[in-house]
Chains A and B, each alone.
Chain A
Amino acid sequence: MEHLNATWPWYISGFLIGMIMLCLNYFGKVFGMSSNLRTLCTIAGADKYADFFKFDWKAQTWSLMVVLGAMIGGFVAVHFMHDASNVTLNPDTVAQLAAMHIEAPNGKIAPDALFGTQVFQSPKLIIILLIGGILIGFGSRYAGGCTSGHAISGLSNLQLPSLKAVIGFFVGGLIMAHFLMPLIF
């Protein structure tokens, strides 16, 4: 179990993610996570406001089941496969984070400074998380996919549009990480 609890190497993790995508192809489906957001909007009644949400969401039940499984997987991995060595970052990263008042991981996957329970009392943090979510939801639907749909599924199928989207993801990410985040934190 010790090996399973430590940080999984990138070459094993990457291979498994590729196999998960191929496995869904074998089931006759295409791997993509952000489409579930559209399905959830439709279930919540968004089809009354825009035609974009008028579709047979029940045909997407399989994808919601992948989400359900992923949530259970996240629960199991965090609660039963934890190790104090997890999320060992580059020391330079840790120093930069300290300057932004974000604590070192010490085995945690998410910083308390951004995801601790004090968030519920902090309007600033709530707004940051909400705005980040809006950008992710809007951007992934506008681009027609997210990291799974474009970076993994699309690039694996040698799709030029996916390459454009992935370059867009990284340009946006670099702008946020280098220019905007120092202003926010």
Chain B
Amino acid sequence: MKFLKYIVVGFIFGIVLTKSEAVSWYRIYEMFQFQSFHMYGIIGVAVVTGVIGIQIIKRLKIKDIDGSPITIAEKEPGSARYWIGGLFFGLGWALVGACPGPIFILLGAGILPVIFTLIGALLGTFIYGVLKDKLPH
């Protein structure tokens, strides 16, 4: 089954994010109060691992599982969308203590009120889709 490997990767992701407590509202609050290094350590080590891994992929021209070259699309240049969108995202992230991955993980864990956050996130995505052409990017 071609999707099994994605389910396995997602499963590990769900375990890691839960056991590292990156899905915890408490940890996000503690991070934004600068009262713990834990979350900064997680994000920092993830990025350092990623930077080294991507440099290895690029320099050794490693192929993907299908034998095609691994290309990682560059983000579109721009400023307004990143600053403003980022600001909106951060306000929500701190308030409900979950970003999109953890929203799904917490729901899976059975924390049912997170359903309201998911409904909100879908609504917010929809609002962006409708307003997209009127917003500065």
* Residue positions of A touching B, CB distance < 8 A: 4-5, 7-8, 10-28, 30, 33-34, 36-38, 40-41, 44, 46, 49-50, 52-53, 61-63, 65-79, 81, 86-87, 89-90, 92-93, 96-97, 105, 109-111, 114-117, 119-120, 125-126, 128-148, 150-162, 164-178, 180-181, 184
CA distance A131 to B76 in the complex (A): 28
SS of B interface (majority): helix
Which single residue of chain A is at the shortest CB-CB distance from B58? A157
A10 and B45 contact, CB distance less than 8 A: yes
CB of B60 within 8 Å of the partner chain: no
Number of interface residues of B (CB under 8 A): 114
B112 and A49 contact, CB distance less than 8 A: no
Which residues 1-38 of B have a CB within 8 angstroms of A? 3, 5-33, 35-38
CA distance A14 to B50 in the complex (A): 10
Q: Which residues of A contact B129 (CB under 8 A)?
A: 38, 41, 46, 49-50, 52-53, 141
CA distance A166 to B73 in the complex (A): 18
**Inter-chain contact count A-B, CB under 8 Å?**
519
Q: Which residues of A contact B38 (CB under 8 A)?
A: 10
B15 in complex: contacting residue of A73, A117, A139, CB < 8 Å: A73
Q: Which residues of A contact B28 (CB under 8 A)?
A: 173
CA distance A44 to B118 in the complex (A): 14
B118 and A164 contact, CB distance less than 8 A: no
A selection of 21 A-B contacts at a CB cut-off of 8 Å is A4-B19, A5-B19, A17-B20, A18-B50, A21-B46, A25-B57, A66-B10, A74-B105, A74-B107, A75-B108, A96-B33, A109-B24, A109-B25, A137-B128, A142-B85, A144-B81, A157-B72, A161-B76, A162-B75, A165-B86, A173-B32
A22 and B53 contact, CB distance less than 8 A: yes
* Residue positions of B touching A, CB distance < 8 A: 3, 5-33, 35-51, 53-54, 57, 62, 64-66, 68, 70, 72-79, 81-101, 103-114, 116-130, 132, 135
CA distance A156 to B3 in the complex (A): 25
CA distance A105 to B78 in the complex (A): 41
Q: Which residues of A contact B21 (CB under 8 A)?
A: 7-8, 86-87, 109
CA distance A146 to B85 in the complex (A): 10
